[in-house]
Structure 1
Amino acid sequence: MTHDQSFFGRIGTIDPGDIIIVKKSDIIRTRAEEENSGGAKRYGDWGDVVVYYPNGDELATPIIHRVCCWVEVNDNRYTVDSLGIRNESEITIPELGLYRYRPNHEGFITKGDNNLFSDQSCSICYQPVKQEWIVGKARGELPWIGLLKLLIWGHPIYSPEGWIRIGKASAPLDQWICFFLFFSAIVGVPLYLDGFRRK
């Protein structure tokens, strides 16, 4: 769920190397609901950002994406109340890349903020995300620290233009600068203070 922001302007968004604090919750607010009601923005936009297992597969890598809307299914008829779609034989939401969509069950339509289309319109998660597939909602971040893990074990995403690969990790240049400054301070300050006390 990376965001195109100004240089060093990524606090409050989720970027490669951020460790995300996740909170279990039964109440999930969709982007459409929050936008229509004037609710609070989270991580740069309306709606909760959730961590879920694609297609309910707990062995798969969890996905962290924004909840766009809820699809109700009743006798092969579909309703997306928050978008004014009611009792239709199929769902078309062009801005989410859904055309003549006919899901098997009800659930959330999700989308990464930097993706062109919803997870359900591509190979990420074909069916709507069921409530029981959701691990929790993103409720905080520890920026840059996760790059240390990615340096060693890597991650499966490609390196977009302008990203820098170090070790097995790939991230925007400013993320790497912040990472090295942060860890330099974590290591350097105690060493400096230890040397200062010995004098």
Structure 2
Amino acid sequence: MEPDVSAEDDDRSAAVGSDGDVDDEDVPVSVYVRDIATSVGAVVLVGLLLFAVSGVWPPLVAIESGSMTPNIDTGDMVLIMEEDRFPGPDARHGVVTAETGAESNYVMFREPGDVIVFEPNGNEQRTPVIHRAMFYVEKGENWYDRADPDDVGTAGSCADLRNCPAPHDGFVTKGDFNDAYDQVTGTSTVVRDEWVVGTAELRIPGLGWVRLQTGTRLAG
């Protein structure tokens, strides 16, 4: 005697729509949970791999200002690397300045020198800044003569500049789109090397717009 499978077939038919797709209400909740868990796990895995490579958390940050335009734009996503991991030639504290990069032909984001992420004035509560390291100064140095005359505003000497002589060792910085050094505009004093979070290594155009709404961002 053969088993009656008609009822089972009817049940299967009922679970399948006229177009051949399985009805959503018949898909077990566990399937959705598994899919979500798989997606979250993949994101976490990618994040951990990027952290392992970069040494910085979070390794990806979104750009919220246009101070680095056109080389890095508002809404871009940028990969940050710990500055001492893979330093360029003649780096100082893991950073190649624009001054040094111009001599060695070291270019990042279309111009000489590293683009760094730093805490302005060493303040961890402020939004980090992403600007180019222009040159390195030592405590007490009169750096006016090393500066580009176009980037010091109306200053005619060191006495007319903020942060000159240099209050301590560190980097003079500037946004590629800005008209003056950060140390002239008051964005930050000379950037101590311990205030540097890392160097910008890779730009992903436009991907940062979503992150700007919810995640880590960088100011200019």
TM-score normalised by the shorter chain: which range applies? 0.5 to 0.7
* TM-score, reference length from structure 1: 0.60
Partner of 1:168: none
CA distance in 2, matches of 1:67, 1:2: 12
Residue 144, structure 1, aligned to residue 203, structure 2: no
Partner of 1:17: 75
Q: Deviations over 1:86-112 (max 9, x none)?
A: xx5x63422331641222101000000
CA distance in 1, matches of 2:74, 2:183: 23
Partner of 1:91: 144
The Cα shift of 1:41 comes to 1.4
Partner of 1:62: 128
CA distance in 2, matches of 1:51, 1:43: 14
Q: Aligned in 2, Cα 1:156/1:144: closer, same or farther, shift over 3 Å?
A: closer
Partner of 1:121: 184
CA distance in 2, matches of 1:123, 1:23: 26
Partner of 2:174: 111
Q: Is residue 68–residue 131 contact of structure 2 (8 Å, CA) maintained in 1?
A: no
* TM-score, reference length from structure 2: 0.55
The secondary structure found in structure 2 opposite 1:149 is: helix
Q: Give % identity.
A: 32
CA distance in 1, matches of 2:115, 2:128: 13
2:80 aligned partner, one-letter code:
V
1:17 aligned partner, one-letter code:
G
The Cα shift of 1:152 comes to 6.9
Q: Aligned in 2, Cα 1:106/1:140: closer, same or farther, shift over 3 Å?
A: same
| Greater fraction of residues in strand | 1
CA distance in 1, matches of 2:167, 2:196: 18
Q: Aligned in 2, Cα 1:95/1:106: closer, same or farther, shift over 3 Å?
A: farther
Consecutive unaligned residues in structure 2, runs of 5 or more: 1-66, 85-93, 159-163
The secondary structure found in structure 1 opposite 2:138 is: strand
The Cα shift of 1:72 comes to 1.3
Structure 1 segments, 4+ long, off by >3 Å, are 149-153
The Cα shift of 1:143 comes to 1.5
Q: RMSD over aligned Cα, in angstroms? A: 2.3
Structure number with larger C-alpha Rg: 2
The Cα shift of 1:141 comes to 1.8
How many residues get paired? 133
CA distance in 1, matches of 2:197, 2:133: 13
| Greater fraction of residues in helix | 2
Partner of 1:33: 100
Q: Is residue 173–residue 181 contact of structure 2 (8 Å, CA) maintained in 1?
A: yes
1:122 aligned partner, one-letter code:
T
Q: Is residue 127–residue 218 contact of structure 2 (8 Å, CA) maintained in 1?
A: no
Q: Aligned in 2, Cα 1:156/1:19: closer, same or farther, shift over 3 Å?
A: closer
The Cα shift of 1:147 comes to 1.2
Q: Deviations over 1:139-188 (max 9, x none)?
A: 112221111233579x898xxxxxxxxxxxxxxxxxxxxxxxxxxxxxxx
